[in-house]
Amino acid sequence: MSNPLPDIAAARLAAALQALYDRPQPPVPWRDGENLPWDEPAFSQRMLAEHLDQSHGAATRRLPELRALVQIMAGWLDLGEGSRLFDITCGPGLYAVGFARRGVAVTGIDFGPASVRYARELCAGWPVEIHQGDVRQMDFAGRDFDAAIYLYGQFTVLRPEESRDVLRRIHASLRPGAKLLLEILDDEGIDKKDSTWWYTDQGGLWGDFPFLHLGERRWDPESRAIIERFFVFNLENGEMKAYGLSDQAYTAGMMREMLAEAGFRNVTVHPAWDGLALKDAPEWCVYVAERAG
């Protein structure tokens, strides 16, 4: 009797290829690519490994760059010993522990269970508390933090209306005069061309099995948003998993307007981290704004 697994795998692969062929085209941001499954335990664990991998800076920057950023942010945000910082999407706590070593008390929030667990272990013994949760639902109103940071473009993976609401939630968590630092992709440097790619690999973010990865990137000029879709074929069993990531583009004028609507003022803009020696600095634009009274 023949082993039925190859037939099952072939049937799965055929169904996956049909689903790929039938995918909506052109894709609509957030509808056809909501977001990566940050809170899925297995995905979260694989993402943590990417955060901690010092061979690249694709999830969290390498430690020498991270230390330089902590120093410059402490200056921009007027953070000294005894200050209280809100670290939004704190990941595995690498920035949090860096600030804690400078005497800053840090409260962090992140969606990924593996990163939260690691951050709590890393920051044990330091003045750091880490919460697991969705920033769209967080409520730290009245905590009167002295500053907040929201790094690595995580602000722009939210729908614009969600981002506006998150800004209001951050505003409610800060004391009057406190500062918010937002890092987002620089609108002038965003790749607004459509593209596709493929590669094969085993292990890493997409799974611990041999796979074929097909990807596509589309720019939606009407919504000014990028949508990326990733199709990962398990070459052992024929299954396919589809992932999406949408990213909103904001000009400096749009950001100033959003921050003002949320109750922030005195916005300063720092393209490319003001020339700080970061490998990816040209991709980013940093906004520092003060909470109005």
Query: What pLDDT score was predicted for residue 119?
Result: 98
Q: Which domain holds residue 198?
A: 5-32+191-248
116 and 168 housed in the same domain: yes
Q: Which residue has the tokens 């609509």?
A: 28
- Three-state secondary-structure class, residue 145: strand
Do the Cβ atoms of 133 and 117 come closer than 8 Å? no
Residues of the chain with pLDDT under 50: 1
Q: Supply the CATH number for residue 120's domain.
A: 3.40.50.150
Query: What pLDDT score was predicted for residue 6?
Result: 79
Q: Please give the span between the terminal C-alpha atoms of the chain, in angstroms, as a whole number.
A: 77
23-24-26-27 Cα dihedral, nearest 10 degrees:
-90
184 and 195 housed in the same domain: no
Query: What pLDDT score was predicted for residue 34?
Result: 65
Query: What pLDDT score was predicted for residue 7?
Result: 84
Query: What pLDDT score was predicted for residue 57?
Result: 86
101 and 242 housed in the same domain: no
Query: What pLDDT score was predicted for residue 33?
Result: 72
55 and 82 housed in the same domain: yes
Domain total of the chain: 2
CA distance 126 to 105: 8
84 and 142 housed in the same domain: yes
123 and 212 housed in the same domain: no
Query: What pLDDT score was predicted for residue 1?
Result: 41
196 and 226 housed in the same domain: yes
Q: Which two tokens stand for residue 193?
A: 């061309």
Q: Supply the CATH number for residue 229's domain.
A: 3.30.1300
